[in-house]
Amino acid sequence: MGWITEDLIRRNAEHNDCVIFSLEELSLHQQEIERLEHIDKWCRDLKILYLQNNLIGKIENVSKLKKLEYLNLALNNIEKIENLEGCEELAKLDLTVNFIGELSSIKTLKHNIHLKELFLMGNPCATFNHYREFVVATLPQLKWLDGKEIEPSERIKALQDYSVIEPQIREQEKDHCLKRSKLKEEAQRKHQEEDKNEDERSNPGSDGHWYTDINATLSSLESKDHLQAPDMQEYNTKKLDESEDDLEFWNKPCLFTPESRLETLRHMEKQRKNQEKLSEKKKVKPPRILITGNGNALNVNEPKIDFSLNDNEKQIILDLAVYRYMDTSLIDVDVQPTYVRVMIKGKPFQLVLPAEVRPDSSSAKRSQTTGHLVICMPKDAAQVSSPRPFLISIFTKHLLPISAFWMPCSFCVLNLLFLLYSLNI
Q: What does the DSSP 8-state code read for residue 85?
A: T
Q: Is the pLDDT of residue 186 over 90?
A: no
* DSSP per-residue codes, 26-70: EE-TTS-B----SHHHH-TT-SEEE--SS---S--S-TT-TT--E
Range of 45-59, 188-202, 219-233, 411-425 with top mean pLDDT: 45-59
Q: Where are the domains of the chain?
A: 6-174, 300-383, 389-422
Record the pTM: 0.57
b/e map of 339-353 (b: 16 or more CB within 10 Å)? Answer: bbbbbbeeebbbbeb
How confident is the model at residue 47, as a pLDDT? Answer: 96
**Cα distance between residue 253 and residue 262, in whole Å:** 15
Does 3.40.50.10860 match the CATH number of domain 6-174?
no
3-state secondary structure of 380: coil
Choose the weakest-confidence range: 8-17, 43-52, 137-146: 8-17
Choose the weakest-confidence range: 172-181, 222-231, 262-271: 222-231
Range of 60-69, 184-193, 287-296 with top mean pLDDT: 60-69
How confident is the model at residue 385, as a pLDDT? Answer: 56
Which residues lie closer than 8 Å to 348 by C-beta, 6 or more apart? 288, 290, 300, 302, 341, 342
How confident is the model at residue 202, as a pLDDT? Answer: 59
Domains 6-174 and 300-383 agree in fold: no
Choose the weakest-confidence range: 137-151, 153-167, 221-235, 277-291: 221-235
Give the residue, 59 or 285, on which the prediction is more confident.
59
pLDDT above 70 covers what percent of the chain? 75
Residue 222's pLDDT band, with cuts at 50, 70 and 90, is very low
Residue 308's pLDDT band, with cuts at 50, 70 and 90, is very high
Residue 175's pLDDT band, with cuts at 50, 70 and 90, is very high
Q: Is the pLDDT of residue 289 over 90?
A: no
What distances in angstroms separate CA 271 from CA 242, 244, 249, 268, one per listed residue? 9, 13, 12, 5
Fold classification of 300-383 (topology level): Immunoglobulin-like (2.60.40)
Q: How many helices (H) and strands (E) does the chain have?
A: 11, 15
How confident is the model at residue 36, as a pLDDT? Answer: 92
Residue 415's pLDDT band, with cuts at 50, 70 and 90, is low
109-156 pLDDT, tens digit each: 999 999 999 999 999 999 999 999 999 999 999 999 999 999 999 999
Handedness of CA 381, 383, 385, 386 (dihedral sign): positive
How confident is the model at residue 365, as a pLDDT? Answer: 92
3-state secondary structure of 1: coil
229-252 pLDDT, tens digit each: 445 555 555 555 567 777 776 677
